[in-house]
A and B are shown apart, each in its own frame.
Chain A
Amino acid sequence: MLDWSIIARYAPFFVTGAWMTLFISVFGIALALLTGLLCAAIETAHVPVLRQLVRVYVEVSRNTPLLVQLYFLYFGLPKLGFVWSAEACAVIGLGFLGGSYMAEAMRAGLQAVPEAQRENAYMLGFTKAQTMTRVVVPQAISSAVPGVIANVIFLVKESSVVSAIALADVMYMTKDLIGMTYSTYEALFLLIVTYLVILLPISILGTWLERRFDHARR
């Protein structure tokens, strides 16, 4: 059913594609984490005007598809003079989308720490900074980790859309192989295997990290 010689011939292309997927994902997720951290900090600290802006950003980013965000960045914004490469667009797009998801996960983590603990820490003479670093953040991390990891996996999967702005990722290679040789089965086989190779380790690592950070249960 599968022609292994075709698979052997085209496997290197999928390795290249996988690197592109990983490259975009790593930078996109890093940007998403930074954005998320910033937004969560602004919301928790109740910074007046910025807080409303963050709310707007989160709603817009969560309620529009990545593909449309990418088309707008890649085809639309150059008309205003913002010309950027496809790679930059993909990273910014993924960061824009992921930032809101990360912000929600981190905010939920921070809110999971009961207010009473903060008050108790102040009462015991902790400064604001000490309360944050010694009491709130360690617990917030442990309850935010599962959400953050789910978002990481979600974003790697979402990165499959970047082939639409001509980046040679795994999906792009699949389409190319089907289009050039009609080797549909082999292409789909390579597609599934490549994504499993990328995503299974992340998923397993995620489960391990979740357990590692589950301070409440240890």
Chain B
Amino acid sequence: MQGAEILLELGVFPRLLQGLWVTVWIAAVSVGLSIPVGLVAGWLMTVRNPVVRAVMRVYLDFIRIMPQLALLFIAYYGLARAWNWNVDATGACVLVFVLWGGAELGDLVRGALLSIPQVQAETAYMLGMTSWQSFSRVILPQTLRRLLPASVNLATRIVKTTSLAVLLGVVEVIKVGQQIIDANRFQYPTGTLWVYGVIFLMYFIVCWPLSLAARALEKRWAND
């Protein structure tokens, strides 16, 4: 167990927490922006226009088949080159996570929208509701219910994927860990084990409650 004292060294733990905050912040912003993008994307996937549907299909399939790290490279290196648009690494991460989360969520929205029987919209119409009323009072509440567990799951995946940000040079929890390890290499040769161990645990502590929440929601609303 020798070397674990590195974690008690002044400033080490607070700095790791700061790094974790960056990670959580990137994930939270990405999830927050994914929701409107996903709702619009999901709606576009169900429209009648074949061109729109084909475009959405290609968008979804491309995002799904490419590894997230490849998407990050494309955004980070490609965009700067193409339009001289110098997105910083954090911006590239958020952009990719929103496009990815939006596509995944869009597919869920599409599934949820299609799962609600057409009869309900017709019934609402017959009862004298306008199409907006029937959408916002009848269809949307049911869609959101079916959507929430999957969205929480998606949030977990986005938090985990945020770890890739370090490979673009974002100073988040892993990078902070590496800096601490490098700064203490001579004093604590075994610090690597402990610092990475703590980061491992930190990710688990963030993601696990989300997974549990998703499962609980799934169970609760399974029969609705």
Binding site for B on A (CB under 8 A): 59-60, 62-65, 67-69, 71-72, 75-77, 79-80, 153, 157-161, 163-164, 170-171, 174-175, 178, 184-185, 187-188, 191-192, 195-196, 199-200, 203
Asked if A171 contacts B69 (CB within 8 A), the reply is yes
Asked if B67 contacts A76 (CB within 8 A), the reply is no
Contact of A63 among B65, B77, B156, B193 (CB under 8 A): B156
Bound complex: CA A157 to CA B68 (Å): 8
Asked whether A184 and B81 contact (CB < 8 A) given A60-B204, A79-B190, the answer is yes
Count B interface residues, CB 8 Å: 36
Residues of A within 8 A of B174 (CB): 67-68, 71
Asked whether A160 and B67 contact (CB < 8 A) given A63-B203, A65-B160, A191-B73, the answer is yes
Asked if A188 contacts B77 (CB within 8 A), the reply is yes
Asked if A185 contacts B78 (CB within 8 A), the reply is yes
Kindly provide the distance from the CB of A201 to the nearest chain B CB, expressed in whole angstroms: 11
Contact of A64 among B68, B69, B200 (CB under 8 A): B200
Bound complex: CA A113 to CA B66 (Å): 34
For the complex of A and B, the 6 pairs showing the least CB-CB separation, nearest first, are A160-B67, A63-B207, A65-B163, A157-B67, A65-B160, A79-B190
Please name the residue on chain B nearest to A156 by beta carbon: B67
Asked whether A79 and B200 contact (CB < 8 A) given A160-B69, A171-B69, the answer is no
Asked if B192 contacts A185 (CB within 8 A), the reply is no
Residues of B within 8 A of A161 (CB): 69, 164
Residues of A within 8 A of B134 (CB): none
Residues of A within 8 A of B192 (CB): 75-76, 79
Please name the residue on chain A nearest to B190 by beta carbon: A79
Kindly provide the distance from the CB of A202 to the nearest chain B CB, expressed in whole angstroms: 10
Bound complex: CA A215 to CA B66 (Å): 31
Residues of A within 8 A of B190 (CB): 79
Kindly provide the distance from the CB of A51 to the nearest chain B CB, expressed in whole angstroms: 18
Residues of A within 8 A of B65 (CB): 153, 157, 195-196, 199-200, 203
Residue B54 at the chain A interface, CB threshold 8 Å: no
Residues of B within 8 A of A80 (CB): 193
Please encode chain B, from 175 to 211, with 1 for each CB lying within 8 Å of some chain A CB and 0 for all others: 0000001000000011011101101100110011001
Bound complex: CA A76 to CA B189 (Å): 11
Contact of B3 among A60, A68, A79 (CB under 8 A): A79
Residues of B within 8 A of A158 (CB): 67
Bound complex: CA A203 to CA B189 (Å): 45
Asked whether A72 and B197 contact (CB < 8 A) given A160-B67, A192-B66, the answer is yes
Known: A67-B174, A159-B67. 18 other contacts (CB 8 A): A59-B211, A63-B204, A63-B208, A64-B160, A65-B162, A68-B203, A72-B196, A79-B3, A79-B192, A79-B193, A80-B193, A158-B67, A160-B67, A160-B68, A161-B69, A174-B70, A188-B73, A192-B66
Asked if A192 contacts B67 (CB within 8 A), the reply is no
